[in-house]
Amino acid sequence: MNMNQLSEGKFDIREEIRLIPKVMYVVAALAFVGMQALFLLVAFRHDPHAPPFPVQVLIATLMGILLGILMLLVGYVNRDAKRRGMNYKLWTVLVLFIPNAIGYIIYFVVRQPIRGACPQCGATVNPGFNFCPKCKFLLHPACPQCHRAIEVGAVFCPYCSAELKGQG
């Protein structure tokens, strides 16, 4: 069992940021510099209606920061999708190529919960599992009649009133 599994469930922004691969910081910095060059040396230079130079610098800086953040997010989605057991290669490509950051929005809506570990045998289990696939440990007690998740020790199912003897 590693630290990722121990801390699952709690959202810690520092832990999330630590997921971003170091190489993506280099890519983000290059993207920032590239944006400066693109705007200041190419786009504005050949535009007769270009805004005054300080405004050019402001626009180039903001676009550079935006692109840099998007690059860091690509790295984050890549690692985050991997730890969630999702198709991380597909998601990395999707967030990169779907325009206007729509890929990120879709990702954060549909992403799977972080995988946990079975308390009994340590096998990797999805949060939706009711039983551990390796050792049949009851991960989430469920009503035998309506199969909804119930609290440990409940006597009656709060959803369908089935009697729950010997469940908790």
The residues that touch Zn ion, with contacts defined as CB under 5 A, are 118, 120-121, 123, 132, 134-135, 137, 143, 145-146, 157, 159-160, 162
Token pair recorded at residue 99: 């325009």
Query: In the complex, what is the shortest distance from the CB of residue 120 to Zn ion, in angstroms, rounded to a whole number?
Result: 4
For Zn ion, which is the closer residue by CB, 95 or 132?
132
For Zn ion, which is the closer residue by CB, 62 or 146?
146
Query: In the complex, what is the shortest distance from the CB of residue 116 to Zn ion, in angstroms, rounded to a whole number?
Result: 11
For Zn ion, which is the closer residue by CB, 71 or 143?
143
Query: In the complex, what is the shortest distance from the CB of residue 6 to Zn ion, in angstroms, rounded to a whole number?
Result: 16
For Zn ion, which is the closer residue by CB, 45 or 148?
148
Query: In the complex, what is the shortest distance from the CB of residue 136 to Zn ion, in angstroms, rounded to a whole number?
Result: 7
Q: What phi and psi values does residue 52 have, to the nearest 5 degrees? A: -55, 155
DSSP string, the chain: --HHHHTTTS--HHHHHHTS-HHHHHHHHHHHHHHHIIIIIIITTT-TTPPPHHHHHHHHHHHHHHHHHHHHHHHHHHHHHHHTTS-HHHHHHHHHHSGGGHHHHHHHHHPPPPPEE-TTT--EE-TT-SB-TTT--BSS-B-TTT--B--TT-SB-TTT--B-TTT-
For Zn ion, which is the closer residue by CB, 26 or 160?
160
Query: In the complex, what is the shortest distance from the CB of residue 135 to Zn ion, in angstroms, rounded to a whole number?
Result: 3
